[in-house]
């Protein structure tokens, strides 16, 4: 199901309508994530444009949409506060180069071996930080410098309200609450015929109309007079000076690592939503590297593949990369032709959208699933990662989570080498695993599983597997489920203790 030059326009109608839906979802998020990152909103729009036009052209995941990510907002906010906005460009350029090199060296598969408990713990921690930071934006106030300070200041914000003398603070809160109510109300009550109209967009429209018609004196977003001003190029060799600082090189490594992990995990999730072309992980990593390199050059926000926009793209019926490319064109056109309209949007409306977006990242459902399917250790890894991301910083949380996921390996150190053998059994292929099935051997296992043809049954033989960690069990579950959805009658055999977390029913 390749997509040649002519193939890009083979589904023009479906891709055209999907691109408009993605554009409507992306616009408020691009600006909101920029504000959550402590940078001007046009920086988020520039990232959205590059994510559509450039990464869309080069993408290895045909239906994934790239743009500024809530997952990096916390890192960028702290970075800009400590080092200034000028240092973000060169550091992001270096992060893009690192991603590009990782793609060229075919390291895409390694990111898929990261423990789901660490990834979801990280995302939940980020979600919590966004909620408690954006809570202050609802009051037309600036977030404080750390998650704990933001948390500590929340009660005083609430007790400081005085609706008998409704000033800017009270009005901003009402605008933010209106945004949240419209957004959630629409998503609950919308008719099937309007299912593709995004709640976030309606929330922003309602808040903007209310603030404009009532002439409310609330903070509004600031947008430059021309789009050209948003694409600021480096003017001298001094622009590269921050790269002489080792601490900033570590920041570039952290951004490259987290952006790559989030992108490739999002791509895997998008693959589960459709039956079309599968993701080429190394190609996607190279495309993201080029995108972040350009975002660095133009002083914009870092980008990743984003699941909210990507799932909207799939649900809207997109078939090729054209929808992603066109959504970038719509953002560019809107910012170039209608900047005056963006200047009417209240800051509190974007804060409202991000409170909902952050809340949805805190998925307690996932940690429940980990506990039920794989026991207390993965749930504990999730919890430790979550708590450390909220109380210390993102990198500490992720590194400690990864270190804890190694604990799962300790009882099986002798059998760590996983052998994966393929046997032709006439009608089916038998894929036999021998040893401990852990994240250490997951890259090779994924390579074997993904080359199995869709029209030939597979017998997954786990009889000689000594142990299986939760990362491998989750990967196998997803692979089996995806093949079963296409009607394939694959078999899985092996010891009960190994098979319990896997979906065995046909």
pLDDT tens digit sequence for 436-488: 999 999 989 998 998 888 889 999 999 999 889 999 999 899 888 878 877 77
pLDDT tens column, 91-125: 999 999 999 999 999 998 888 888 889 988 988 88
If asked whether residues 306 and 441 sit together in one domain, one would say no
Q: Could you give the CA distance from residue 485 to residue 311 in angstroms, rounded to a whole number? A: 18
3-state class percentages of the chain: helix first, strand second, coil last, to nearest 5: 65, 10, 25
If asked whether residues 319 and 179 sit together in one domain, one would say yes
Token digits of residue 340:
């005056």
Structural domain includes residue 49:
yes
Q: To which H or E segment does residue 425 belong? A: strand 419-425
If asked whether residues 154 and 296 sit together in one domain, one would say yes
Q: Could you give the CA distance from residue 189 to residue 325 in angstroms, rounded to a whole number? A: 31
C-alpha distances out from residue 136 to 22, 133, 143, 213, 321, Å: 28, 6, 6, 24, 38
- Beta strand ranges found along 328-379 (DSSP E): none
The range of the structural domain enclosing residue 399 comes to 363-412
Mean pLDDT in residue range 188-210: 90
pTM: 0.83
Residues 334, 340, 344, CA angle at the centre, nearest 5°?
110
Specify whether the CB–CB gap between 35 and 353 falls below 8 A: no
Structural domain includes residue 32:
yes
What residue spans of 392-420 are helical by DSSP H?
A: 394-407
Domain count, the chain: 3
Token digits of residue 168:
């800017």
C-alpha 14: how far from chain center: 24
C-alpha distances out from residue 381 to 375, 417, 471, Å: 11, 24, 12
- The residue from 342, 375, 398 where one domain ends is 342
Q: To which H or E segment does residue 430 belong? A: strand 428-437
Structural domain includes residue 123:
yes
Q: Tokens 């960690």 sit at which residue?
A: 469
Structural domain includes residue 1:
no
Specify whether the CB–CB gap between 472 and 437 falls below 8 A: yes
Q: Tokens 């009051």 sit at which residue?
A: 139
Give 166's pLDDT tier (boundaries 50, 70, 90).
low
Structural domain includes residue 352:
no
pLDDT tens column, 349-371: 989 988 998 898 888 888 999 99
Q: Could you give the CA distance from residue 265 to residue 400 in angstroms, rounded to a whole number? A: 19
């Amino acid at each position: 199901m390749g997509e040649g030059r002519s193939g890009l326009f083979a589904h023009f109608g479906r891709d055209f309508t999907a691109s408009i839906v993605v554009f409507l979802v992306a616009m408020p998020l691009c600006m909101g994530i920029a504000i959550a990152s402590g940078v001007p909103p046009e920086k988020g729009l520039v990232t959205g444009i590059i994510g559509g036009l450039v990464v869309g052209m080069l993408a290895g995941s045909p239906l994934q949409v790239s743009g500024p990510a809530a997952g990096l907002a916390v890192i960028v906010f702290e970075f800009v506060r400590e080092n200034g906005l000028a240092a973000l460009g060169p550091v992001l350029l270096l992060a893009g180069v690192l991603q590009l090199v990782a793609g060229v060296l075919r390291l895409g598969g390694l990111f898929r071996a990261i423990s789901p408990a660490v990834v979801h713990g990280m995302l939940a921690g980020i979600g919590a930080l966004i909620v408690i930071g954006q809570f202050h934006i609802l009051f037309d106030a600036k977030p404080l410098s750390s998650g704990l300070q933001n948390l500590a200041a929340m009660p005083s914000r609430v007790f400081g309200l005085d609706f008998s003398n409704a000033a800017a603070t009270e009005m901003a809160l009402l605008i933010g609450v209106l945004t949240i109510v419209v957004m959630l109300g629409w998503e609950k009550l919308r008719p099937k015929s309007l299912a593709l109209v995004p709640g976030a967009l309606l929330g922003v429209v309602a808040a903007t109309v209310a603030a404009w018609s009532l002439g409310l004196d609330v903070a509004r977003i600031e947008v430059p007079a021309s789009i050209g001003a948003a694409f600021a190029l480096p003017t001298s060799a001094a622009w590269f000076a921050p790269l002489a600082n080792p601490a900033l090189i570590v920041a570039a490594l952290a951004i490259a690592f987290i952006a790559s992990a989030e992108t490739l995990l999002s791509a895997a999730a998008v693959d589960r939503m459709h039956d079309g072309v599968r993701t080429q992980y190394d190609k996607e990593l190279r495309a993201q590297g080029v995108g972040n390199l350009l975002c660095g050059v133009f002083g914009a926000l870092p980008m990743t593949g984003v699941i909210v926009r990507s799932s909207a793209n799939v649900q809207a019926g997109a078939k090729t990369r054209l929808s992603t490319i066109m959504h970038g064109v719509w953002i560019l056109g809107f910012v170039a032709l209608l900047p005056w309209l963006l200047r009417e949007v209240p800051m509190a409306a974007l804060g409202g959208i991000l409170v909902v977006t952050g809340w949805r990242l805190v998925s307690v459902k996932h940690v429940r699933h980990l506990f039920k399917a794989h026991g207390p250790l993965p749930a504990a890894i999730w919890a430790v990662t979550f708590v450390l991301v909220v109380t210390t910083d993102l990198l500490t949380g992720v590194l400690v989570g990864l270190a804890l996921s190694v604990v799962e390996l300790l009882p099986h150190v002798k059998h760590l080498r996983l052998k994966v053998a393929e046997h032709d059994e006439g009608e089916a292929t038998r894929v036999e695993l021998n040893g401990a099935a852990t994240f250490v051997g997951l890259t090779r296992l994924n390579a074997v599983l993904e080359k199995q043809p869709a029209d030939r049954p597979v017998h997954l033989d786990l009889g000689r597997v000594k142990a299986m960690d939760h990362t491998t069990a989750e990967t196998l579950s997803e692979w089996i489920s995806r093949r079963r959805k296409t009607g394939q009658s694959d078999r899985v055999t092996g010891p009960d203790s190994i098979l319990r977390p896997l979906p065995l029913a046909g």
